[in-house]
Copies of this chain bind each other. A is one copy, B any other.
Amino acid sequence: MHIAGRVDVNDLPKICPLLSRKTVPRYGENQTRVVEVGGVRFGGERPVVIAGPCAVESREQTLEIARAVKGSGADMLRGGAYKPRTSPHDFQGLGLEGLKILREASLETGLPVVSEVMDTRLVEQVAEYVDMLQIGSRNMQNYPLLIEAGRSGKPVLLKRGMAASLCEWLGAAEYIANEGNLEIVLCERGIKAYSNGEYARFSLDLNVIPAAQAETFLPVIVDPSHATGVSTMVEGASRAAIEFGAHGLIIEVASDRLDAAKPRCDAAQAITPRTLRRIIHFVESRPAHAPEAIHVAHWPLPAAV
């Protein structure tokens, strides 16, 4: 019984020769290739914390949250200008106006900004306003989009598809790398499982962090907001991700002051700036990685096992 389309991690050198540790031995068994975005170093001495609103809904809301995020000690700003929504009748984001607001928020706070792009024809536009392009879960296998993101010259945050295998995820990253762009950061954001919807939105899959780190030298961060879908779980999920070796976090934050005006998407998973501060305090109070050894802390240390 031969099954079509079956691949496993042993096929990665063929699927992603530009990204596999086996075919690119210069990073050894556990070094991470640092991706720099406006001075922020993914895979560097400290985990990176990206935070911001789910969607850019207004200038006031975005600046308010950006300042709070900055005040909490975050490294980077996030916010959606183009929003992929299950229904065309839902709020689709402010588009170009949203990008301009993000740019302003970035300038004011000094935080580099990442935002999602969904359309090949808008890659250039989005790249003009942001420091890092995000490819969302729904588009992880939108290959023309990956190719355009690769050609943009911008660093790319590649979210894992909602049910992507590790091979599919790294194969998607290879489309970006194949355009000569290695400035790629992977992002685990929860997977589909039978348990979805009972007590969490998705199933946070932390096992994939060390597995990805064993197969490739790209940094891997975690989105605890989508992976849980429950605001009171975000802090625990963040700490867990860092302890399991994640190189950073991307977190949705709502405003304290604007709470009367509920966010127009995913309100239930946004945390307050106060919780964000606690998370960042946790991240910062851990010992830094030694600068001469930018490596994955807990993976794989054969001598110690």
Task: Spell out A's residues near B (CB within 8 Å).
Answer: 1-9, 14-17, 84-89, 118-121, 138-139, 141-145, 147, 162-163, 165-168, 171, 174-175, 178, 191-201, 203-211, 214, 225-233, 235-237, 239-245, 266-269, 271-272, 274-275, 278, 298-302, 304-305
Contact = CB atoms under 8 A, between A and B. Distances in A.
A298 B237 CA distance: 10
A89 B17 contact: yes
Nearest to A231: B305
B118 A121 contact: no
A211 to B, nearest CB: 3
B191 A195 contact: yes
Give the number of copies in the complex: 4
B174 A89 contact: yes
Contacts of A14: 87, 89
A240 to B, nearest CB: 4
Given A86-B167, A194-B163, A241-B240, A5 B232 contact: no
A200 B206 CA distance: 10
Contacts of A207: 195, 199-200, 203-204, 227-228, 230, 233, 237
B232 A305 contact: yes
Contact of A210 (B142, B236, B272): B236
Given A3-B268, A271-B305, 16 more contacts: A2-B230, A4-B201, A4-B266, A89-B174, A120-B144, A166-B199, A193-B203, A200-B208, A203-B207, A206-B206, A207-B233, A236-B244, A236-B299, A239-B243, A239-B298, A240-B244
Nearest to A6: B197
Nearest to A239: B243
A118 B89 contact: no
A88 B174 contact: yes
Contact of A275 (B228, B235, B278, B305): B305
A120 to B, nearest CB: 6
| Nearest 9 Cβ contacts at the A-B interface | A163-B163, A199-B211, A138-B141, A239-B243, A240-B240, A4-B268, A4-B269, A200-B207, A86-B171
Contact of A6 (B9, B144, B229, B274): B229
A236 B5 CA distance: 20
Contacts of A271: 305
Given A194-B193, A229-B3, A235 B269 contact: no
Contact of A7 (B86, B210, B272): B86
Contacts of A191: 193-195, 203
Nearest to A202: B207
6 contacts: A5-B226, A88-B143, A194-B196, A206-B237, A235-B298, A236-B243
Contacts of A233: 207, 210-211, 299
